[in-house]
Structure formats: structure tokens, C-alpha cells
């Protein structure tokens, strides 16, 4: 577990995360997720814009999307505390059949495009997460049956607040083969295995490697390292950034590995690049 982060996990479905200092996080979300801020602040970085959320805010995250966020204390020093509720596909399929939920035939274009859907503050959301927070505070988790009821409450609350989310929640199609070059150039900084990259582009591992070679003429691992180094050199050359400031940003886990890979690629260490911004 990362230093400075405390995470409680119940049934791999309901999570409580607490952070006392600013923490940059990046992960692929494989299931729909409902998120609520009990305290602190959260900055979400999406392709279209940045979202800044505070205590009492809630949002929905679509499955199979990359999530970039910064968890941070509030201005008055209150630590970040967030509750994360996964709405998994098997549960949603079962709920759709049992309750005969009517799914809108026409989707909202804005909802369909967005990775995140911001939710207005509402007593239903506050009540749901206040009750769930108490389980974590008391370290007494709900029974499986009660957890199922809470998941259903979450879905019905979402459908009441945002009816057009029905098409998103109950879309059970598997990921299709998306544009490989576009996806990799957007997500090469992510801490993902080759198998995970294959999954999120809608490919088997063998198909992913075959398609990758046709597009990039390199193995996935070699291309990812090369692309990260190119971005790091660009940041240092053009913006005067220091090696210690860029290695994490471009996807390396430690400065030593970054420096070794950089020297192997370019013939000189990253420390040889001046850290003065070019005029």
C-alpha cells in the first residue's frame, strides 16, 4: 500500500480511502463507480476539462476508463476521505432482470461522451453514503444481503437523479477494438501491464501484440519506454523541468530506472540537460 494512504475494502465492492497529503492517483476503472467525498478535496483530470470537488460532492465514473485524480486535504487541513462504490456488471444484469427497469431508448449525447458524470447534491445521496460511512467508522461491515440492498439503493438513486444514466448503467456490450494508436498515445504513461493494455483496447493479448507491431513496428514494452523518454526529454528541453520532477509524471516508478533508460536511449544522462527554460 502507498505511504500516506489508508484504504478499507469490503467485498471488493465498497472502498473507503483516506489521505492526509496531496496524492496523485491514476488507474483504469473496469466497473462503473459511484464516488462521494466525505471530506477534503479531489481534482479530476479528464480529456475535456478538470473538475474540482469538495466535501459533499458526488460523481459517477463509467467502466473501462482511465481515471486521473489528485486527492488532497481541504484548505483548512481536513484530510481527504472518499467512499467508492463499484456497480459491477453481474449485479446490474441481475437487477435489470429482477426489477424490470425501463432503459431510455435515446441517450443524452453529453452523458454518452463524458468519462465522469457530476451529480447534484441531494438528500438521497447524502443519506446513502452517510449510512455506509458509519460501517467503516465502526469497522462493522454490512451483511451480504444488506450490501446488495445498498447497491440497489445506489442504482435507483442514480436513475432518479440522472435518468439518462440508465443507458450507461445497463449497457453490457464488451469493449470493441478501439483505435490502437490513439489509445496508446493518450495512455502510455499509465502503470498498466501489456495484458491490461490489450483488455482496454478490446483485444486478446495475441491480437494486441500483432496489431501493435503493425502500427508501431516495436514491441509494446519497448515502445512504451521510448515514448515516455521522448516526453520526458521534451519536458526538460522545452520547459526546463528537472529529471526528479518529470520521471513520475511520464510513467517511471523510480528516478534511477529513468536515468539508466534515458542514458541508454540518448547516450547521456538526463542531468546533462540544462534546467533553464529556453526563450
Kindly state the average pLDDT of the residues 87-103.
Answer: 91
Range in 123-127, 144-148, 200-204 with the lowest mean pLDDT = 200-204
For the question of whether the overall pTM of this predicted structure is more than 0.95, the answer is: no
Whether the per-residue pLDDT at 132 is higher than 50: the answer is: yes
Q: Residue 216 in contact with residue 256, Cβ under 8 Å?
A: no
Average pLDDT of the chain to the nearest whole number? 89
Average pLDDT over residues 180-190: 91
9, 50, 202, 256 from 216: Cα distances, Å: 39, 31, 18, 27
User: Is residue 244 predicted with pLDDT exceeding 70?
Assistant: yes
Q: Determine the Cα–Cα distance for residues 72 and 63; give it in Å rounded to an integer.
A: 24
Beta bridge partners of 82: 17, 37
Average pLDDT value for residue range 176-192: 87
CATH number for the region 5-169 comes to: 2.60.120.810
Which position has the higher pLDDT, 247 or 111?
A: 247
Q: 180-272: which CATH topology?
A: Arc Repressor Mutant, subunit A (1.10.10)
CB 89 within 8 A of CB 62: no
Rounded average pLDDT over 59-73: 89
pLDDT of residue 106: 63
Phi/psi region, residue 22 (left: phi>0; alpha: psi -120 to 50; beta: rest), is beta
- pLDDT category at 138 given cuts 50, 70, 90 is confident
pLDDT-wise least confident of 50-59, 166-175, 243-252: 166-175
Cell 467485498 belongs to residue: 11
pLDDT for position 2: 53
The answer to whether the CB of 17 falls within 8 A of the CB of 23 is no
In the chain, where the domains are located: 5-169, 180-272
Among 21, 24, 6, smallest CA distance to 137 is for 6
pLDDT score at 257:
94
**Count of alpha carbons within 13 angstroms of residue 264, beta-carbon side:** 10
When mean pLDDT is compared across 46-50, 162-166, 249-253, the lowest value belongs to 46-50
Amino acid at each position: 500500500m502507498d505511504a500516506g494512504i489508508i484504504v478499507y475494502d469490503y467485498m471488493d465492492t465498497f472502498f473507503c480511502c483516506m489521505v492526509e497529503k496531496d496524492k496523485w492517483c491514476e488507474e483504469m476503472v473496469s466497473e462503473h463507480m459511484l464516488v462521494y467525498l466525505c471530506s477534503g478535496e479531489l481534482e479530476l483530470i479528464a480529456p475535456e476539462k478538470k473538475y474540482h470537488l469538495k466535501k459533499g460532492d458526488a460523481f459517477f465514473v463509467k467502466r473501462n476508463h482511465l481515471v486521473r485524480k489528485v486527492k488532497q486535504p481541504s484548505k483548512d487541513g481536513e484530510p481527504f476521505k472518499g467512499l467508492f462504490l463499484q456497480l459491477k456488471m453481474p449485479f446490474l444484469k441481475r437487477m435489470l432482470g429482477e426489477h424490470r427497469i425501463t432503459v431510455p431508448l435515446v441517450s443524452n449525447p453529453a452523458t454518452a461522451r463524458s468519462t465522469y458524470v457530476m451529480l447534484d447534491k441531494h438528500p438521497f445521496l447524502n443519506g446513502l453514503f452517510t449510512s455506509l460511512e458509519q460501517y467503516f467508522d465502526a469497522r462493522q461491515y454490512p451483511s451480504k444481503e444488506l450490501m446488495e440492498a445498498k447497491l440497489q439503493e445506489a442504482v435507483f438513486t442514480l436513475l432518479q437523479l440522472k435518468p439518462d444514466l440508465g443507458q450507461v448503467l445497463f449497457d453490457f456490450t464488451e469493449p470493441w477494438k478501439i483505435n490502437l494508436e490513439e489509445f496508446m498515445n493518450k495512455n502510455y504513461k499509465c502503470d498498466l501491464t501489456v495484458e491490461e493494455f490489450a483488455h482496454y483496447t478490446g483485444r486478446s493479448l495475441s491480437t494486441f501484440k500483432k496489431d501493435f507491431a503493425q502500427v508501431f513496428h516495436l514491441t509494446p514494452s519497448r515502445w512504451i519506454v521510448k515514448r515516455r523518454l521522448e516526453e520526458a526529454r521534451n519536458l526538460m528541453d522545452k520547459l526546463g523541468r528537472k529529471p526528479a520532477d518529470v520521471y513520475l509524471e511520464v510513467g517511471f516508478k523510480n528516478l534511477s530506472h529513468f536515468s539508466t533508460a534515458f542514458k541508454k536511449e540518448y547516450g547521456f544522462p538526463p542531468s546533462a540537460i540544462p534546467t533553464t527554460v529556453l526563450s
